[in-house]
Amino acid sequence: MTPHSLDPRAPWVISTHDLGRRPGAMLRMSITLPAPANIGVDMIGVPRDTDVELDIRLEAVMEGVLVTGTARAPLRGECARCLEEIVSDTEVSFQELFFYSAEDAAEDDSLLDGELLDLEPAFRDAVVLTLPLSPVCSEDCSGLCSECGIRLADAEPDHGHEVVDARWAKLQGLVPEHNNDQES
Ligand SMILES: [Zn+2]
Ligand SMILES: [Zn+2]
């Protein structure tokens, strides 16, 4: 928790000016904001600058402003099994209390900067928590063929390879034994 000054023009910085400070005051907002950069985990995330639709409720309480919200955001990623592109979306809920004063707040709590608050960290945390570490294009994705690398969902149902173990090949006479006697 470090007091920092927010840029009022930053898209995720919200003004609480219209809310006032009287406990019980409430304000609802429906806004669409551009997704910040780097919201995601290794293989899936929210593409930068895509539209994130937010419904938020600001509520003045004794210590600060309680923000409760839902956000709907597009997701892009890659299937961890077959590497196919994943296009989907997510809806997350979040709640964060922004304290007026650092004296009331604990180490990890969020603070208001004057009348401004930054929604981005709460949104980021909520999204990242819901993302799978190994996203799949479909639950029954069978991945790639270990022999030739073809995506099995695109392959013939009986896709397979005649794999002959080198030792068997020898026994079956498919690989001629080296015989130095006959060559001399
Ligand atoms: Zn897949
Ligand atoms: Zn194959």
Which residues make Cβ contacts (< 8 Å) with residue 10, sequence separation at least 6?
118
Q: List CB-based neighbours of ion ligand 1 within 5 Å.
A: 79, 81-82, 84, 137, 141
Residue 79 C-alpha to ligand 2 middle, in angstroms?
18
> What is the distance in A from the centroid of ligand 2 to the CA of 164?
14
Query: Reduced to 3 states, what is the DSSP secondary structure of residue 145?
Result: coil
Compute φ and ψ for 181, nearest 5 degrees. -60, -45
And the tokens for 37? 């950069």
Residue 174, Ramachandran bin (φ over 0: left; ψ between -120 and 50: alpha; else beta)? alpha
The pLDDT score that the predictor gives to residue 53 is 98
pLDDT digits (tens, 9 = 90+) for 7-59: 999 999 999 999 999 999 999 999 999 999 999 998 999 999 999 999 999 99
d(CA 85, CA 66): 37
Q: What is the pLDDT of residues 121-179, one digit of tens each?
A: 999 999 999 999 999 999 999 999 999 999 999 999 899 998 767 776 666 666 565 65
